[in-house]
Amino acid sequence: MQKITIVEEKFYGRLKSRKLTDRQNDLFNTLFPKVSIEHFDDIDKTKYESIFLEIGFGGGEHIAEQAFNHPNNLYIGCEPFVNGVASLLCKIEDNDIRNIKIYQNDARNILKEIPENTLRGAYLLFPDPWPKRKHIRRRFLQIKTIETICDKLIKGGVWRIATDHPEYQVWLKKHINLKEVQSMFDIKIFESCNRPDINDWPKTRYEQKATNNIIYVELAKL
């Protein structure tokens, strides 16, 4: 029988910054084992209407609000950064949120396990810009990840991307203008002056701090 080896993606971002508070340490011991997953198959999918995936949830502001507002859906949050996970654990406990699963790892790894036509939505909000030329390959948005997310979305499923970083905006526009991407998705673009509805698209911490014009893109799978 042929042996299939799945290669783990190398994550380049920060894994930890500040020391955790006592409460955060407690939540890592008590709540984290209940809400974290190591594999997509750890989830009982029958309990939820739709499944959404957030890539790099940071402090968890957006995923927590989406999950709180839509208790019948499941939100899988991917974030290797320990302090970000600790912030989300506090939000889950404070708001008694029951429909978030945390994948404390590189999103590209769980994406390999998610079957095609599964996700109702995906979010990539204020991704690390990796502005240096030699680091461009570290950007999450690549033609390969666009194809992967398209495969995992159901028809009509939506991938939302936002960035305030001028170079990433150029990168994003370059990708969504590609013929092959336009043949996969119906694409809508918004800017700070006509921002999507805040109740439907809550602000992340990066967005709250952003000073540049922001570009918001919605890619709906055709």
Q: What residues act catalytically? A: 128
Cβ-based nearer residue to ligand SAM, 11 or 190: 11
Cβ-based nearer residue to ligand SAM, 160 or 186: 160
Does 79 interact with ligand SAM (rule: CB under 6 A)?
yes
Size of the site for ligand SAM (CB under 6 A): 23
What CA–CA distances, in Å, run from 140 to 10, 130, 158, 164? Answer: 12, 9, 17, 15
Find out whether 192 and 207 touch, Cβ atoms under 8 Å: no
- Shortest-Cβ-distance residue relative to ligand SAM: 56
Binding-residue pattern over the window 127 to 156 for ligand SAM, x denoting contact by CB under 6 A: xx-----------x----------------
Cβ-based nearer residue to ligand SAM, 38 or 186: 38
Q: Which residues pair with 121 in a beta bridge?
A: 52, 158
The span from the CA of 104 to the CA of 20, in Å, is 16
Q: Which residues pair with 189 in a beta bridge?
A: 217
Find out whether 210 and 149 touch, Cβ atoms under 8 Å: no
The residues that touch ligand SAM, with contacts defined as CB under 6 A, are: 11, 13, 55-58, 78-81, 84, 106-108, 125-128, 140, 204-207
